[in-house]
Amino acid sequence: MQQLFRSDVALGLPLYREVKHKLMESLRDGEWKAGDMIPAEKRLCERYGVSVGTLRKAVDELTAENILIRHQGRGTFVASHSQDRYMFGFFHICPKTGQKEYPKVEFISLSREKADADSARRLGIGKGSKVLRIVNRLSLSGRPVIVDQIVLPERFFPGLTEFQLRERRTTLYQLYQDSFGVAVLRTEERLDAEGANAEVANLLSLDQGTPLLHIVRRALSFRDEVVELRHSWVLTTDHEYFAGERGQASE
């Protein structure tokens, strides 16, 4: 039993926040994995020595943060990556007028490299560490509009193959989760503008130097480890960055 004691609770911190912290520790330690149902309220209340109301406040916050998901009549589950969660939680490019749609993803290449200084810094690894570099081209409404360059620390994805990437029938985040046990909890994004370099210009059939939206995303696991660095170059002639839910995704 992991009952909470006053020495465990930071001065002035509500008890439910400490329960939330303990629940997150269990997720980071792998006690409950993506898609697992967490124990019933009664068991968790006994485990932490708290009331149902305190426990529910902690679970409510984790649910609001999309870390846990309640299913009516079934229980509370650790969030897992589905196509819809990817679309509305992580993919922010949509038409300037109209609804979000699923991008068509075309695999371009996979290479094994050594991390350059910038990638190493953003990933929190040593310069020269082994990384995987994936390049994808994404189309919306039949037109290529995004190039993704994805850099992964190889230690998290041993044995990842071109076949897995080319033949996958799901999102990359679900592939990470299902094939390597790496669950992306949250992402951080930074935006700026860049001119298309030669590689990106060729993939999007543009003139080199064409202005593009540049998105740098870091994906973090339950352990707060950076498991992916993604550079996305987006043609914004007919599309824009929108961090919200605009309509429903088309099938």
pLDDT in tens, 76-85: 988 776 545 5
* pLDDT of the residue at 147: 98
* pLDDT of the residue at 79: 79
Domains of the chain, start order: 6-78 (1.10.10.10), 84-241 (3.40.1410.10)
* pLDDT of the residue at 34: 79
* pLDDT of the residue at 249: 34
Q: Is 68 exposed, middle or buried, given 0-12, 13-18 or 19+ CB atoms closer than 10 A?
A: buried
Residue whose C-alpha is closest to residue 153's, from 185, 127, 191, 188: 127
* pLDDT of the residue at 7: 43
* pLDDT of the residue at 250: 28
Instruction: Flag residues of the chain having pLDDT under 50.
Output: 1, 5-9, 11, 83, 87, 246-251
Whole-model pTM? 0.76
Computed over its alpha carbons, how large is the radius of gyration of the chain? 21
